[in-house]
Structure 1
Amino acid sequence: MRLAIEEPEKKLTPDEFFEFQQLVGKTFPDEFRDFYLENNGGYLPESVQPSPLLFSGFIPIKYGRVPIEKTYYDLVDDFPELKNMIPFADDEGGNCFLLSLRDKDYGRIYIWLMDEKELGFVSQSFDEFINALS
């Protein structure tokens, strides 16, 4: 199902997404790439309130005040165990939803609970995560 997103940042080009992928050094799942080429960050429409999963919004790549790149490096700097876990969204409590690019659980979605410093499983794939928000 297609998810309507409001207030995305500047649209990414395929080359910009490729540069981001090169920066991270990992290949992203196709559904993640396709979503970000269509919606670079943004929020669910108010009609979806209250938000499933206490979802707040998607973090943009490259553009915006705090893009994924900065969020990722800050997170890994503080929590090295989160290497190859890409923060792509946050919840209303300031926790990050993470896409795993690790070999052992590639493509799965987790939430990093900041206060507890704990990783919680959310879904098997990015598509499953998107469907849960619809």
Structure 2
Amino acid sequence: MRLIIEESEKKLNQNEFFEFQKYFSKKNPDEFRDFYLENNGGYLPETSHPSPLLFSGFISIKYGKIPIEKTYQDLIDDFPELKDMVPFAEDEGGNCFLLSLRDKDYGKIYIWLMDEKKLTFVCESFGEFINKLS
């Protein structure tokens, strides 16, 4: 099932995504790249059902008020242990969903619980995360 996203920012081209990847020590997984080349941030359509994972929306790359690059820099300034964790989405409480690019858990998805300053495992991959939202 394909995920419908609304209110995406300006569409990225390959060069813009390539520039984005320079923020990190490793290449982003293909499923993440493909998603962001199709949808640069945005929200799920409003429904009468509660949002899975208390999901709020995807953070955009390069464009928008606070893109991933800015969110990432702010996170690692305050929490250096989150280096090489891509903050790609938020939940309704303002917590960040993170994609790990670290050797020990590459590709896994976590949520950074801001109040508890705690990293919590969500799922095995970006594709699995998208499936949970579908």
The TM-score normalised by the length of structure 1 is 0.97
Where do 4+ consecutive residues of structure 1 move more than 6 Å? none
- Corresponding residue of 2:117: 117
- Written as runs of structure 1 = structure 2, the 5 A alignment for 1:58-97 is 58-97=58-97
SS at match of 1:46: coil
Query: Displacement of 1:48 after TM fit?
Result: 6.8
- Could you say which structure has the higher helix fraction? 1
- Report the counterpart of residue 18 of structure 2 in structure 1: 18
Return the letter of the residue paired with 2:92. E
The one-letter amino acid of 1:127's match is G
Question: How big is the shift at 1:25?
Answer: 3.2
| Match runs of 1:101-116 below 5 Å | 101-116=101-116
User: Does the residue aligned with 1:34 lie in a helix, a strand or coil?
Assistant: helix
**Number of aligned residues:** 134
Q: Distance in 2 between matches of 1:69 and 1:98?
A: 13
Q: Provide structure 2 residue ranges, at least 5 long, that are not aligned to the other structure.
A: none
CA distance in 2, matches of 1:49, 1:66: 27
Between the aligned partners of 1:8 and 1:49, the Cα distance in structure 2 is 21
Distance in 1 (CA, whole Å) between partners of 2:93 and 2:80 is 22
In the TM superposition, 1:9-48 aligns within 5 A as: 9-47=9-47
Cα distance in 2, alignment partners of residues 77 and 23 from structure 1: 14
Greater mean deviation of Cα atoms: 47-56 or 31-40: 47-56
* Cα RMSD (Å): 0.9
Unaligned runs of at least 5 residues, structure 1 = none
Q: TM-score, normalised by structure 2?
A: 0.97
